[in-house]
Structure 1
């Protein structure tokens, strides 16, 4: 499935100010001393790669759950979803290091049921305790089939800003860009019981392009919104 035209190809708007500032400082310092300017040029190049935001195409298929982020799978397990009334769920977590694309994408087609922000700590996002103790922002979606899917952005060791552009009541499509986390983080996805994972711990994934799981077939007892 081809994703609709991207709002800002190549470089995420969240990084425009940082990148412009780094570039201006690097140029100004270069006019005085090339050697002194080297750290500023290194920072500018780092910012350029960190805030890259490539458009992606989603795979075809019904009931597919797309990866919300680039990175590495650090968790595939049964868990309780603390953001959807503690329902039983399949939890899949993607850890992003500072060299991954940090633009976050919607995992499934659905309407936004709730968005909750939680202040917290800044443990290494690869650790399990980061899911419930770090700063985070949880978005619960309901698909047209009635399934609940939660995508939770979790800040990491050096991440200091979680950005979520979605709004309650908004209809989103799988692969749509909805947020950004600056400088190292993770995204936890909670899926309804019966969802079939298509990734394993250690797998490298790409936002939108990689299928994390398949939603369960419909039954008379599927999830409903709170």
Structure 2
């Protein structure tokens, strides 16, 4: 059975209402059969796109404090040592995962531990792969801590289509690896900032699966 994320419930209901209204109005107001059918097919296609975007497949995470799992589904587009200016203010290993509109957009906790920092930043809507997207787009910054890795940071970044980031992380909260950490609507990316020397299990161009695939380990 297909599961949908709670952040999509309202949009899904509205989409169904508009789809039914559009199909009925096409039948009532138009006379040319092929035009009616074309409009109805487009409406159904639009509804399917909405439904697939908000799908929330159940994922079974193998809990392990010595591993980092992918926080989202998508493609690894950045692996490099960078200066992290907001929280650590030193060099970290950045791993960025880009989500296309057809990917699952649920954000999951990359590791178990405690939320040390959680902050929302309003901003621009540059395309998600833009070099300045990490510091200028709408985004949230969350820091998790456990005994194995110490502190890691992940950043939800809105893309050109994403207009709302949902973040469930609250400072002081104990969280479990692989569980629901939020949602980014309509295209985006997530940046991970790991300690230097962290062993990676992925390379540029790899496609990863959120909540289950180990992308780094101690």
Both proteins in one fold, TM over 0.5 = yes
Partner residue of 1:224? none
Is residue 22–residue 41 contact of structure 1 (8 Å, CA) maintained in 2? no
Q: Please, which of 156, 169, 172 is the counterpart of residue 172 of structure 2? A: 169
Q: Determine the C-alpha separation between the residues in 2 that align with 1:87 and 1:55.
A: 36
Q: 1:30 Cα deviation (Å)? A: 1.7
Partner residue of 1:16? 9
Unaligned segments of structure 2, at least 5 residues: 28-35
Is residue 83–residue 150 contact of structure 1 (8 Å, CA) maintained in 2? no
Q: How does 1:1-226 map to 2 (within 5 A)?
A: 10-34=3-27, 35=36, 36-59=39-62, 61-145=64-148, 147-215=150-218
Distance change in 2, residues 1:47/1:168 (3 Å): same
What SS is found at the alignment partner of 1:100?
Answer: coil
Q: 1:41 Cα deviation (Å)? A: 2.3
Distance change in 2, residues 1:79/1:160 (3 Å): same
Higher helix share: 2
Unaligned segments of structure 1, at least 5 residues: 1-8, 216-226
Partner residue of 1:220? none
What SS is found at the alignment partner of 1:53?
Answer: coil
Using the size of structure 1 for normalisation, the TM-score is: 0.86
Q: 1:86 Cα deviation (Å)? A: 1.0
Using the TM superposition, name which of 54-63 and 15-24 deviates more.
Answer: 54-63
Q: 1:166 Cα deviation (Å)? A: 1.6
Using the size of structure 2 for normalisation, the TM-score is: 0.89
Output the aligned Cα RMSD: 1.7
Q: Determine the C-alpha separation between the residues in 2 that align with 1:117 and 1:149.
A: 17
Q: Determine the C-alpha separation between the residues in 1 that align with 2:135 and 2:215.
A: 21
Larger radius of gyration: 2
